[in-house]
């Protein structure tokens, strides 16, 4: 696998990705952003020239935290996506990780977990055994997924949320910060509170 990366997007999320890649000793070739006002992120150049999207021998990561936007970028660009995983994450050797996924510092992922493409597992999130995490999901800092949890495509699990064992979270659902989820949640809803309740 190439050790050279390009990052699509020059945002706060990209800053964390940059620092993970630096710790891993991987080379950051450049960043791309379609905002022409963005020229530099830390010391790295930001290009808005589409030609950069055709460079070869590079791995790409989408540095955008918003799940919907991240999916649109991936669907509109045929790129060779890599995986970015912080050295300080505690990851079982018996898991599967999809392309484009980012695993932040302090994350714990236990045995037999399957993670889809272009997922974000944010700082100190905990994912226990036999969980399934769909494409384009975002597990926020300090969220806890107990064993056998299923997270549907595009779902966003808020900071500090807790999901008890065996629960399914529907696709493109939003679980608020600090929620405690004790029953299955359908697609396309927003949930808040302890215990979690659907508000729309």
- pLDDT digit string (tens) for 50-94? 888 888 889 999 999 999 999 999 999 999 999 999 999 999 999
Has 118 been annotated as catalytic? no
Res 111: pLDDT: 98
Protein fold of 85-190 = UDP N-Acetylglucosamine Acyltransferase; domain 1 (2.160.10)
The rounded distance, in Å, linking the Cα atoms of 131 and 146 is 8
The rounded distance, in Å, linking the Cα atoms of 8 and 165 is 35
Residue pLDDT, tens place only, 108-137: 999 999 999 999 999 999 999 999 999 999
Q: 175 near 191, Cβ under 8 Å? A: yes
Res 62: pLDDT: 97
Q: Would you give the DSSP letter of residue 54?
A: G
Res 21: pLDDT: 96
Strand partners for 138: 120, 156
Task: Count the Cβ atoms, other than its own, within 10 Å of residue 16.
Answer: 20
Q: Which of 13, 54, 118, 129 is catalytic?
A: 129
**Model pTM score:** 0.94
pLDDT band at 1 (very low <50, low <70, confident <90, very high): very low
Residue pLDDT, tens place only, 146-171: 999 999 999 999 999 999 999 999 99
Q: Domain locations in the chain?
A: 4-76, 85-190
Here the tokens at position 44 are 């790295």
pLDDT band at 184 (very low <50, low <70, confident <90, very high): very high
The rounded distance, in Å, linking the Cα atoms of 164 and 23 is 33
The DSSP H or E segment spanning 23 is helix 12-23
Continuous H helices in 24-144: 67-76
State yes or no: pLDDT of 22 exceeds 80.
yes
Give CATH for domain 4-76: 3.40.50.20
């Amino acid at each position: 696998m190439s050790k050279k990366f390009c990052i699509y997007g020059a945002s706060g999320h990209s800053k964390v990705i940059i620092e993970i890649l630096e710790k891993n000793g991987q080379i950051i070739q450049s960043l791309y952003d379609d905002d022409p006002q963005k020229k530099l992120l830390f010391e790295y150049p930001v290009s808005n020239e589409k030609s950069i999207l055709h460079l070869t021998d590079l791995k790409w990561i989408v540095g955008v935290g918003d799940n919907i936007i991240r999916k649109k970028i991936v669907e509109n660009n045929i790129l060779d996506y890599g995986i970015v995983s912080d050295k300080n994450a505690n990851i079982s050797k018996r898991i599967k990780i999809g392309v484009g996924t980012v695993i932040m510092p302090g994350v714990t992922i236990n045995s037999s977990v399957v993670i889809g493409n272009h997922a974000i597992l944010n700082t100190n999130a905990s994912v226990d055994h036999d969980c399934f995490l769909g494409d384009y999901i975002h597990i926020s800092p300090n969220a806890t997924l107990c064993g056998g949890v299923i997270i549907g495509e595009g779902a966003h699990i808020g900071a500090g949320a807790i999901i008890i064992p065996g629960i399914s979270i529907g696709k493109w659902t939003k679980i608020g910060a600090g929620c405690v989820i004790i029953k299955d949640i359908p697609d396309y809803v927003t949930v808040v509170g302890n215990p979690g309740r659907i508000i729309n």
